[in-house]
Amino acid sequence: MGVAIRLLLLPLMAVAFCGYGVAGRSHFHKKPPRGGSSGGRHRGGKEGSVVSSPAVPPADDDTQPVPPPPVGIVPSDPATPVQPAEPCVFDVRAYGAIGDGSTDDTQAFREAWKSACAADAAVLLVPSDGTFTITTTTFSGPCKPGLVFQVDGVLMPPDGPDCWPASDNRRQWVVFSNLDGLTLRGAGTIEGNGEEWWNLPCKPHRGPNGSTLRGPCDSPTLVRFFMSRNLVVEGLRVENSPEFHFRFDGCSDVRVDGLYISSPANSPNTDGIHVENTERVGIYNSRISNGDDCISIGTGSYDVDIQNITCGPGHGISIGSLGVHNSQACVSNVTVRNAVIRNSDNGLRIKTWQGGMGAVSGIAFADVVMENVRNCIIVDQYYCLDKRCMNQSTAVHVTDVSYANVRGSYDTRSAPIHFACSDTVPCTNITMSEVELLPASGELVDDPFCWSAYGTQQTLTIPPVTCLQDGLPEALLDNPDLKCR
């Protein structure tokens, strides 16, 4: 049935064009009566990685010939590859979104999501010619395979807490939940409108002499992924989040690539990417400047690979904080490689609370450049927000941590290397090689700090870390509180 006949049969409904011109893929999706007709093909995004198949070994002389395919099955002609079907595009304007920067477009996004979620290889499109405002929304699955959320325009929440709907959750804005195979990408911007949130009197702000004033309060994470797998986030600009920019909770098989995350250096709690209870994560080729951790790794995180990241200003790349409120925390197999950290309060940090249990293990920092960083290398098992925490006898065990080819300059207000470990649960198997840290200005600070820290210098470091102890303390042997999965 032709396009004209279909439109005559559906005079009051808009048409979403899905896969036009592709054999076996021409079909229509109905849209709400209030929407106008719109169509389009997928725009932007990056090509996926190409994985080469291993070479096929030559057959042995006695190898049996390969039998022909069963009758009725014709092998594909390699000269004429099968073209993949084009995606169905669900433009939010077709569902009534205005995109003028002030109109509430939430309902249009929810309707577009409902349609896209039910279609194979669908693209929910936020077009490049609009600024779209939506309130707190959970985009939940399960959905059909191949779903893409494409942000080519500007997507943002209401402007500050005074404009936030009273009925909405103040701890999160956009949530992607219970999904398998979602891609969030685009050439556009997710704008957080965070300034009024940062200025709330209950927010922690930097005070004199390194102190922190006030305490935390409810502010929304900008984009949260929850209980999902096979996720791709790529190519977006994300800025000025009220609190964390991205948060992954209870997820697996995540790839983050090519993001630009930006918030002011004095914006509190604006972690760039936070990972918690999530495994098999890759974070690549991104630039992050903010007011807190560039990347933070929370408990329950395993097999995290971080490469080619530029951080700063901010608080560096952190594992933790872990073990708060005497909880068990487990993190293992985290690699940070080919990173640049500039004008940051911290560089490579592991931070745990006293009283916790569990372990941080298998951590490798390699090929990292520091530029004017305070606390370039730091392990702090006495982490406390207001420095009034009481001493406790248990701690999260920090072990098997390596620093290799870490070079650059440090802010001389602090020693560049600081290992403050627990008396009862010391840090063990710290290894250092090709570490060279020089003052950004002023005189050399050549006195690294070590407390209950065990490890080795595999090569001479600058400054020398002679305070590491040899061996393994007997107190750690067969301690059940230090076990993880």
Among 127, 179, 130, smallest CA distance to 150 is for 127
**Mean pLDDT, range 141-161, rounded to an integer:** 96
- pLDDT digit string (tens) for 276-286? 999 999 999 99
What pLDDT is stored for residue 10 in this prediction?
30
Check residue 273 and give its pLDDT: 98
Q: Residue 98: what residue type?
A: I
Catalytic residues: 315
Instruction: Check if the beta carbon of residue 237 is closer than 8 Å to that of residue 189.
Output: yes
**pLDDT of 447 strictly over 80:** yes
Strands 212-213 and 205-206, sheet pairing: antiparallel
68-95 per-position pLDDT tens digit: 433 333 333 434 444 446 779 999 999 9
pLDDT band at residue 483, thresholds of 50, 70 and 90?
confident
Please compute the mean of the pLDDT values over residues 95-105 and round it to a whole number.
Answer: 97
Average pLDDT across the chain, whole number: 83
Q: What is the pTM of this model?
A: 0.81
Q: What is the predicted pLDDT for the residue at 394?
A: 87
pLDDT at position 292 over 50 = yes
Residue 21's contacts (CB-CB under 8 Å, 6 or more residues apart) are 86
pLDDT of residue 214: 65
Res 63: pLDDT: 39
Structure tokens at 252: 């697996």
The pLDDT tens digits of the residues spanning 11-69 come to 333 334 454 322 222 233 333 333 333 333 333 333 333 223 233 333 334 434 434 43
Can you tell me the mean pLDDT for 264-289? Answer: 96
Backbone angles phi, psi at 161, to 5 degrees: -65, -30
pLDDT digits (tens, 9 = 90+) for 171-215: 999 999 999 999 999 999 999 999 999 988 776 666 566 666 665
Of the candidates 274, 265, 383, 369, the one whose C-alpha atom is nearest the C-alpha of residue 324 is 383
Region 318-330: mean pLDDT is 93
